[in-house]
Amino acid sequence: MKNGTERRTELRTYAVGYLLALALTGAAFAAVVWPSFAAGTTLAIVLGLALVQAVVHFRCFLHITMQRASRHDLQLILFSTLIIVMMVGGTMVLLMNLRTRMM
């Protein structure tokens, strides 16, 4: 039965997403609770894991794929990411610059 297969695939996607999310979360917390790297490296690891986990959520829970059906959604998300990177990056650079100059 086609419906049944589809349903199983979908359930599997959620299950995979859940397990991956748990693993990535666990890894991030572990990296901080049992620190084995320099602070900067740990921060990079945590942020990297967060990025990967966000991708997992978008793929498994929010069903954003490279398929045609979600092409507009994907374009939208990528454009939003661009805007967010510009805004957050600009804000950080600018205000950090001001802070150093006012010290």
**Residue ranges that bind another protein, judged by CB under 8 A:** 3, 6-7, 10-11, 14-15, 17-18, 21-22, 25, 28-29, 31-33, 35, 39, 42-43, 46-47, 49-50, 53-54, 57-58, 61-62, 72-73, 76-77, 79-80, 83-84, 86-88, 90-99, 101-102
Whichever of 65 and 88 has its CB closer to another protein, that residue is 88
For residues 56 and 24, the answer to whether their CB atoms sit within 8 Å is: yes
Whichever of 65 and 76 has its CB closer to another protein, that residue is 76
Residues 6+ apart with CB under 8 A from 9: none
Whichever of 7 and 65 has its CB closer to another protein, that residue is 7
Positive or negative, the Cα torsion across 22, 25, 30, 33? negative
Nearest by Cα to 75 from 87, 66, 84: 66
